[in-house]
């Protein structure tokens, strides 16, 4: 059995003429159907509007006749209530005869009678209900209150006196107070208007139309109850859009809606508003027609339009086929010539006169292509002779390259597996994709357990997991990750829940969708323990040495100052050397303790907002005596605006930084030179500069200036001594205060150190 898709392909046209004919046919059909559809839609809308307005007009006429009829009955009863012949003083027989005459003349009145103020019927047509008590009947009470018309209701007292019929007797009440010649109310004249008159009104309007157009009329009261209409809805309560629309607007209209029987109807509606003195009872007249019957002309119009469209489409299609054949005949000739060329012929293509310019151009091009094809065929035959040898050689080269790649992959896998450090591969979703045996030993999870797990959930402490996920998301969005290519210290957790410190180097490997992070992890628990023991030892030794050294230094200073009397020159020289050495040793121990506090995070900072210039001036004043002994001119310069520069710093710690910078500048400057401290405000920062005119910092030493125990090689450095910790301490203090420290230096000219701190808000 053929595949439906293959069958469709076989049935599709292959020639250009067939395609053009098909295009003409399709275009003709589409245009014809579109035009027919537009015309048919507009015509259908117009027909529907006409039918709807016709139904609305019928509803309006019926409503108008009902209201006028009620007005006539209303006026008749009103006039009758004023006739003296019905007065109490008139003979009873005459009064009854008058009412009988009215009932016989106007056959719509099923009952008409006069009741006294006590509600007793005094006289009535045919003597019906004479002597009966009607004081509790709504028409009697309403007439005394000024309401003279009552809505439709079934017969109550009269039901047993009236002839039997298939449906219950229903009436509309009209009643007026009876007033004598002196204007005194003597009773109530009431009339029960048979509902049959409403049917007569409906038939008078709908006669002929109902049978011809299958139209039905309904009369609905204000509560939606059907008073008159088809048997399937009489007495039922309706809630329809047409009723809502009739009450919402004073003029009539029409709608298409679905009724309780499940059918769709086109409904015209009109709400009654009374007539003349008659106020109306709020009846709504609905005239409905089944939607299928109402829209039969629309369907016929649609069928006519479709038939016309199909006929036009067929005619246009036949014309299109003929035109397509005429257009494609020259192209068919070219196609035949091309087939001959394909079969191996190399003759020129001849174009008949009168052909299209495009066909002539195509023939010329084909002739050129044939000539070129012959040349290329010869070249291809020459090339094909060596092609197999070249393919075989290239295949051997590819096999060798593939073998080399496989060997490299095996070698890398072996190196990773035998590496001393743990190796973890992490994909772009944060899942583990590689895990060597060193990682199994270090962290406790086997390779099978670790693969596929989220690395942050598996090996990171809870407090770091959210940050790790944020960094991974940031890298996927921006391609930036600060720790890439750097060796950093981190805390990991083993399978047993033990946290261990590690050094980790993170890199990127792979390409495209295979991109992943390669992490080499080294356990530094032993090293951290040794560093902790070293720090404890240094702190202990420093504290133990500081007290006796302070005493020794103080004693030597007293001896050097002559407190024990004049010493022999040789002894004085030895005491001076010992005093200087003990001072350096005390400073070394103090610097070591400061470094130890900084590493342990135990150095306290008591910060407050204060002006920077006075602090710099105090530091310069404290170093004046040292500068004078060294023959150095020391000064403090305030740039414009420096007096207003205020910073949030620890005064003592910043003074320590300035003192250290000034001391270094003095020690490394020759006698007679100048050292200058300058304070200035720059934007949102305050800058303090310490400049000297010394030999400058050697180029090879500049990268290590702020490292611990770093000292430049040279006679001058050795002569001045020092611990090599001062600038490292300065850098740590400045950065803790939120600032930066750097320097500019030129050998033989001098060095300037800069400290920049943010201005206080």
Residues of the chain with pLDDT under 50: 1, 208, 714-715, 717-719, 721
pLDDT at position 49: 80
Distance between CA 737 and CA 54 in Å, rounded?
Answer: 93
The order of strands in the sheet holding 170-179 is 121-124, 109-116, 185-194, 170-179, 149-154
Q: Rounded to 5, what percent of the chain is helix, strand, coil?
A: 55, 20, 25
d(CA 442, CA 447): 12
Among 670, 566, 653, which Cα is nearest to 610's? 653
Q: Residue 638: left if φ>0, alpha if ψ -120 to 50, beta else—which one?
A: beta
pTM of the predicted protein model: 0.39
What residues have CB less than 8 Å from 626, skipping those under 6 apart?
663, 666
Hey, which bits of 614-749 come out as E strands?
A: 633-638, 646-650, 674-682, 685-691, 740-746
Given this model, what pLDDT does residue 754 score?
A: 94
Q: What angle do CA 395, 400, 404 make, to 5 degrees?
A: 145
558 CB contacts (<8 Å, ≥6 apart)?
Answer: 564
User: Cβ neighbours of residue 44 under 8 Å, at least 6 residues apart?
Assistant: 295, 298, 301, 302
CA contacts within 13 A on the Cβ side of 661: 31
Query: What are the φ and ψ backbone dihedral angles of 225, each rounded to 5 degrees?
Result: -80, 135
Give pLDDT, residue 541: 62
Q: Do residues 675 and 666 make contact, with C-beta atoms less than 8 angstroms apart?
A: yes
Residue 715 is predicted with a pLDDT of: 44
DSSP, residue by residue, 568-586: -HHHHHHHHHHHHHHHHHH
DSSP state, residue 276 = T
pLDDT at residue 718, rounded to an integer: 42
From first CA to last CA, the distance across the chain in angstroms is 87
> Is residue 522 within a helix (H) or strand (E), and if so which, with residue range?
strand 516-523
Token representation of residue 580: 């200087």
Q: What is the pLDDT of residue 719?
A: 47
Q: pLDDT tens for residues 544-554? A: 666 676 667 66
Burial 415-438 (b: 16+ CB within 10 A, else e): ebeeeebbbbbbbeebbbbbbbeb
Structure tokens at 470: 């944020």
């Amino acid at each position: 059995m053929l595949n439906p898709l293959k069958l469709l392909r076989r049935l599709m046209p292959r020639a250009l003429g067939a395609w053009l004919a098909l295009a003409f046919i399709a275009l003709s059909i589409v245009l014809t159907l579109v035009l027919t559809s537009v015309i048919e839609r507009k015509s259908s809308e117009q027909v529907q509007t006409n039918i709807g307005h016709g139904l609305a007009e019928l509803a309006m006429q019926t409503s108008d006749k009902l209201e006028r009829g009620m007005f006539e009955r209303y006026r008749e009863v009103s006039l009758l209530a004023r006739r003296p012949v019905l007065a109490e003083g008139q003979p009873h027989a005459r009064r009854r005869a008058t009412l009988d005459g009215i009932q016989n003349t106007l056959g719509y009145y099923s009952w008409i009678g006069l009741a006294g103020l006590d509600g007793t019927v005094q006289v009535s047509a045919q003597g019906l209900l004479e002597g009966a008590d009607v004081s509790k009947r709504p028409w009697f009470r309403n007439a005394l209150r000024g309401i003279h018309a009552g809505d439709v209701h079934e017969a109550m007292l009269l039901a047993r006196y009236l002839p039997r019929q298939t449906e219950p007797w229903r009436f509309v009440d009209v009643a007026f107070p009876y007033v004598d010649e002196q204007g005194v109310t003597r009773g109530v004249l009431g009339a029960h208007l048979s509902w049959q008159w409403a049917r007569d009104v409906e038939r008078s309007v709908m006669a002929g139309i109902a049978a011809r157009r299958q139209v039905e009329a309904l009369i609905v009261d204000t509560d939606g109850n059907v008073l008159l209409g088809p048997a399937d809805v009489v007495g039922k309560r309706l809630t329809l859009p047409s009723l809502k629309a009739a009450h919402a607007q004073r003029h009539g209209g029409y709608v298409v809606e679905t009724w309780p029987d499940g059918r769709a109807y086109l409904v015209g509606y009109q709400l009654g508003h009374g007539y003349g003195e008659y106020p109306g009872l709020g009846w709504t007249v609905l005239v409905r027609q089944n939607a299928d019957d109402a829209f039969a002309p629309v369907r016929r119009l649609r069928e006519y339009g479709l038939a016309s469209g199909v006929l036009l489409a067929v005619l246009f299609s036949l014309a299109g086929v003929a035109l397509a054949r005429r257009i494609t005949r020259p192209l068919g000739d070219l196609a035949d010539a091309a087939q001959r060329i394909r079969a191996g012929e190399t003759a020129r293509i001849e174009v008949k006169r009168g052909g299209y310019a495009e066909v002539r151009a195509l023939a010329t091009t084909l002739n050129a292509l044939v000539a070129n094809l012959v040349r290329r065929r010869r070249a291809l035959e020459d090339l094909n002779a060596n092609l197999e040898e070249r393919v075989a050689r290239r295949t051997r080269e590819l096999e060798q390259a593939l073998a080399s790649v496989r060997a490299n992959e095996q070698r890398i896998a072996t190196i990773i597996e035998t590496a001393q450090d743990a190796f973890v591969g992490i994909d772009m979703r944060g899942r583990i994709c590689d895990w060597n045996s060193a990682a199994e030993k270090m962290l406790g999870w086997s390779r099978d357990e670790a693969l596929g797990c989220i690395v942050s959930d598996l090996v990171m402490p809870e407090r770091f997991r959210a940050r790790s996920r944020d960094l991974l998301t940031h890298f996927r969005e921006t391609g930036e990750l600060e720790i890439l290519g750097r060796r950093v210290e981190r805390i990991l957790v083993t399978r047993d829940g033990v946290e261990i410190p590690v050094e980790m180097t993170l890199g990127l490997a792979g390409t495209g969708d295979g991109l992943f992070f390669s992490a080499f992890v080294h356990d530094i628990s032993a090293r951290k323990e040794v560093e902790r023991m070293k720090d404890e030892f240094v702190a202990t030794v420093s504290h133990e040495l500081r007290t006796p050294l302070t005493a020794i230094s103080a004693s030597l200073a007293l001896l050097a100052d002559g407190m024990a009397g004049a010493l022999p020159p040789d002894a004085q020289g030895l005491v001076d050397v010992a005093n200087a050495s003990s001072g350096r040793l005390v400073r070394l121990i103090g610097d070591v303790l400061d470094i130890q506090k900084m590493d342990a995070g135990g150095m306290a900072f008591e910060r407050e907002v204060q002006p920077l210039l006075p602090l710099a001036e105090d530091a310069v004043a404290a170093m004046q005596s040292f500068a004078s002994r060294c023959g150095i001119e020391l000064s403090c310069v305030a740039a414009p605006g420096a007096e207003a520069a205020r910073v949030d710093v620890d005064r003592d710690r910043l003074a320590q930084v300035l003192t250290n910078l000034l001391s270094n500048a003095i020690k490394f400057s020759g006698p007679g030179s100048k050292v200058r401290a300058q304070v200035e405000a720059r934007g949102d920062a305050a800058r303090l500069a310490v400049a000297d005119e010394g030999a400058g910092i050697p180029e090879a030493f500049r990268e290590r200036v702020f490292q611990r125990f770093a000292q430049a090689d040279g006679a001058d450095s050795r002569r001045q001594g020092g611990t090599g910790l001062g600038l490292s301490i300065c850098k740590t203090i400045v950065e803790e205060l939120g600032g930066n420290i750097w320097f500019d230096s030129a050998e033989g000219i001098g060095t300037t150190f800069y400290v920049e701190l943010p201005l206080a808000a």
